Chain A
Amino acid sequence: MKEKITVCFILFTLFSFPIISFMKKKETISITERRELATFPKDDLLNFEKWEDYLTDHFLGREELKKIKGFISLDILQKKENKNTVQIEDSLYDLAFSINEKSVINITNLINKIIKEYIRSNNIYYSIIPDKNYYLKENQLPKLNYEQLEKMLKDNIKNATYINIVNNLNLNSYYKTDIHWKQTEILNVANQILQEIQNEVQEINYKKQEKYPFYGVLKSRIPNNIEAEKIEYVTNQTIQNSTVYNYEKKQIQTVYNENYQDLKDGYDLFLHGATPLLIIENKNTQSEKELIIFRDSFASSLAPLLIENYKKITLIDLRYINSNMLDKIAELSWNEEQDILFLYSIPVINNSFTLK
């Protein structure tokens, strides 16, 4: 009898999950993971990898199962992290790994190549955005050796000036549930960059605004109850009057995405999220100065703070556009007066093979 019960239990589980998964309404996005779910591979039926993604993404009770896995990992197996994310007090941290030397060399080679092949100006700068683990006390979490990484960049990047922003940031400069920095906490960083590039800083007045709730990317990796944050941003007449040209969409956009409630990722509030090339134009200035930023997502919240001092800021994200294409884009031009800034965060520097 017991055998029959065991077999029936197991078979019921094996059959009921796929049947109900198949019948249930399919979601298109995962709110917790802030990503689009895989779609039915109707045009590529023999691509079994796509089938696997589709069946896994639409599995019955996926969100609950992820919570169960998190509970088993953290509470039963007493792991300190789930999916490489650690909670310390009320903040979440991405567990750092050691320096990926090949990746660091790769990004320095890429920067040197771009400087050599495209850039005509001599006003070239670069800066590193530390991950927030850097600001933790000693022996709270394994840390990447920031000083060594900084030295490697300094030793290998030619013909560009380093801007060290480490001292203008602290733990509070970052979101608790995300890896990114808060725009309202990087006004000093923006001032420092302007000071070092243009040697002048003007007092800029901003009005603070906020959106709620904001759950960062790290929240999706850990099942713990963590309070939602608010996402604060600053604006003024210049920012409001500036236009953002999106090269990929061939559209003019605003600096901030006001449809916050529709965003998969709250951080896409800034410049509407990840995209290959953006051109911000300041309509309020007489200046002809132009800045080109080679960047990752961190620059999305920084660029609005620099626009007051420029006529035009171009943001190039080499994760989505190939560096060999830079002389083939009509919207991009190179001249001797431009300021150039390479601004990359530690996660991208240490995983730079995503840059093309």
Chain B
Amino acid sequence: MISIVVFSLLSVLSVGMFTWKMRSIIAQIRLGKKTQRLDQPSLRFKTMLLVAFGQKKMFNRPIPALLHFVFYVAFIITQIELIEVFIDGFSGSHRIFYHTDFQQDYVFIISTIEVLSVLTFVATLAFFSRRNIVKLPRFNMKELLGWPRKDANLILLFELLLIIFIFTMNGADEASKLLQSNVGYGFAMSQYLGPLFFGRINNPEILEVLSKIGWWGHLLMVFVFLNYLPYSKHLHILFAFPNTYFSNLDKKGKFSNMDAVTQEVKLMLDPTLVPAEMTSDTIASFGAKDVNDLSWKNLLDAYSCTECGRCTSVCPANITGKALSPRKIMMDTRDRLQEVGKNNLNCMDGKSLLGDYITEEELWACTSCNACVQECPVNIDPLSIIVDLRRFLVMEESKVPSELTGMLTNIENNGAPWQFSPADRLKWTEEN
């Protein structure tokens, strides 16, 4: 009885806390500006299925893709077991599905989960060594120093603990059942692991305690994990789905059009035009200085980023030692957004994304080549943030690198980025 009460309280508390935190994250994302991402629902759905559900882009790099796929499948299939955990928890039963007509199916499902769990255990160790022993370059860049590295390792540690608890639960159950009836459950892994680890314990009560420790430990890890997600890069396991659904479906080369500018330029070209009524959208400042100047999709991108660094590893600027790292752009955006969140969604704290987080040097190193956008496994677009920040620098603050000022002046004066007269445009036709 007490356990049912404790279980219920823990569940409500954990789900409640998670919901509360998610609401604040969604409120932060809603600070972003409008952008149309609801057209072509079938194409969007297909993109989500391929990229998030099917992990299509992950498979450009087969080894991490395979390791990650093990995690992913194990995570999804384990949710079936979680259903039983909740029923057992609320009703006080023990392995309720085992005691039904579907016993064989149950053993099969738990066995599948066990095999996947063992594979996940191995994958976790592989991931851990890639980060900490092999030291893959993209996991050892300066933007990952401190909390991001701890965050990544913490998630791996949670994963290991979770699996250890699952096998403590199943193994002790197997050993206990064997001890009492000579016939175990027959779970694929714990029918061997159980006797191996707990076979020498001849006391069914101790085995029951061990099984309970496994069960509660497992449950606790699930609750910890759930509530850790919103604070971690690991939020991608949820946000990958909406983030790919709301992907940019245009050609990557197309930059967003600033309609407010179109209005003004049209008036300049034709003074007889009657200006359309100014709406609140058109009076906004040009470009982005802070997170609330970005679109909500940029902000969703920031929360969907799992800091894998594929973007940075293909960035021509980063490869050649420049200050720019597209991953850092996303991490900075998220960090600043969280800061604004703590500030009751108020951006007026004297700080801003541009300047305090992202420097001009980083922005001017970008070649707009779209390699980062292409590479992201969950369709994050760091380039659109870079462009919006550049727009603010240039149009609001007139901070343009001096050579570019010359280029822009030439375009304005003679319609070419260099100082040539339009009259000379046909010279090539006279040459051989």
Please say whether chains A and B are actual partners in one complex. Answer: no
Contact residues of B with A, CB < 8 Å?
Answer: none
Contact residues of A with B, CB < 8 Å?
Answer: none
